[in-house]
């Protein structure tokens, strides 16, 4: 027999379990930092190569306070944001038209299929020659990486709409425009967002590479500069910023997705 008392105590037990799991998740990174610090203090890891949490923290504070880190973060954020938009907007537009019109798909699919596998880093020298050393080359590098992922996902989103929804629209005599706005676009939105999220990951990857060459600021530049100066602490500070940027951007996209796709079961 399960009395109310027993059930309540079971409930308490499972709540207690949840509490411990959350505590573990919180403690595990702290424990790693502690381990790292301890190994550095005991000289079991070489602090010239791997530094230590306290050293990194000591470098981080003045970097933040002087505004230097924030300056570089803002520059990189600007490039990522512009590149992301410059890639995502045409990616969605072209992906939708390729999904909707077989003629556009027939025309462009071979081009996309042939150029998509080229590593974006491999065309950076070409981009530098064409766009010069200014901002546009970095923005374009990011844009092209984002563009393909968004394009391919958007097109797949349109093509994979359940045929029954197309039948419903047809049976209600929807015009072409009505079909695009009430079925094709909303139906493709979940895949479009999947593309945007993948694109964001690629944008973070490309910003570091893009700032390697011919940049005078940015988080990626900081990393390469720290490499030249053999300044391991600065390098780690920049990595912390990149992790932070990735977290913020994916949080923003999740937030936007919740607003744009309230109908998705989560």
Partner 1 sequence: MNGAEKIRVENLTKFFINGKTAVSALENVNLTVNDGEFLCVVGPSGCGKTTMLRILAGLEKPTSGRVHINAKAAGVPSTAVVFQGDSIFPWMRVVENVEYGLKLRGVPLKERRAVAMEHLKKMGLERFAYLYPYQLSGGMKQRVNVARAFACDPEILLMDEPFGALDEQNRLLLQQELLRIWEENCKTTVFITHSIDEALLLGDKILVMTAQPGKVKALLDVKIPRPRDIILIKSSPVFIELYKEIWDLLKEEVLKARNIK
Exactly one of 4, 114, 216, 263 binds partner 1 (CB under 8 A); that residue is 263
Q: Determine the length of the chain.
A: 266
Do 240 and 248 contact (CB within 8 A), yes or no? no
User: Which residues in 189-248 contact partner 1 (CB under 8 A)?
Assistant: 189
Interface with partner 1 includes 264 (CB under 8 A)?
Answer: yes
- Token pair for residue 136? 């546009």
100 or 146: whose CB is closer to partner 1? 100
* Residue 193: CB minimum distance to partner 1, A: 13
Residue carrying structure tokens 């042939």: 114
| Residue 191 backbone dihedrals phi, psi, to 5 degrees | -70, -35
What Cα–Cα distance (Å) separates residue 245 from each residue in 32, 183, 241? 22, 34, 6
Interface with partner 1 includes 175 (CB under 8 A)?
Answer: yes
Do 193 and 254 contact (CB within 8 A), yes or no? no
182 or 213: whose CB is closer to partner 1? 182
Exactly one of 41, 130, 168, 214 binds partner 1 (CB under 8 A); that residue is 168
Exactly one of 28, 167, 248, 256 binds partner 1 (CB under 8 A); that residue is 167
Spatial separation of the C-alpha atoms in residues 153 and 98, rounded to whole Å = 11
Interface with partner 1 includes 164 (CB under 8 A)?
Answer: yes
Interface with partner 1 includes 187 (CB under 8 A)?
Answer: yes
Exactly one of 172, 230, 247, 251 binds partner 1 (CB under 8 A); that residue is 172
């Amino acid at each position: 027999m399960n009395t109310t008392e027993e059930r309540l105590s079971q409930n308490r037990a499972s709540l207690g379990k949840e509490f411990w799991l959350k505590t573990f998740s919180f403690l595990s990174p702290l424990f790693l930092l502690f381990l790292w610090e301890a190994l550095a203090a005991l000289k079991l890891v070489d602090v010239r190569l791997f530094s230590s949490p306290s050293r990194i923290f000591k470098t981080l504070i003045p970097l933040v306070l002087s505004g230097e880190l924030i300056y570089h973060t803002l520059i990189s954020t600007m490039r990522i944001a512009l590149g992301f938009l410059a890639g995502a907007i045409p990616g969605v537009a072209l992906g939708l038209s390729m999904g909707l019109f077989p003629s556009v798909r027939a025309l462009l699919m071979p081009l996309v299929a042939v150029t998509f596998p080229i590593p974006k880093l491999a065309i950076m020298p070409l981009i530098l020659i064409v766009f010069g050393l200014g901002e546009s080359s970095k923005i374009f590098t990011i844009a092209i990486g984002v563009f393909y992922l968004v394009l391919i996902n958007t097109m797949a989103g349109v093509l994979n709409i359940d045929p029954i929804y197309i039948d419903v629209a047809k049976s209600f005599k929807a015009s072409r425009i009505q079909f695009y706005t009430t079925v094709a676009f909303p139906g493709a939105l979940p895949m479009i967002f999947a593309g945007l999220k993948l694109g964001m990951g690629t944008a973070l990857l490309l910003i570091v590479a893009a700032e390697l060459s011919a940049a005078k600021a940015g988080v990626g530049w900081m990393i390469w500069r720290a490499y030249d100066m053999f300044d391991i602490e600065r390098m780690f500070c920049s990595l912390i910023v990149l992790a932070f940027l990735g977290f913020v951007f994916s949080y923003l996209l999740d937030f936007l997705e919740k607003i744009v796709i309230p109908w998705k079961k989560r």
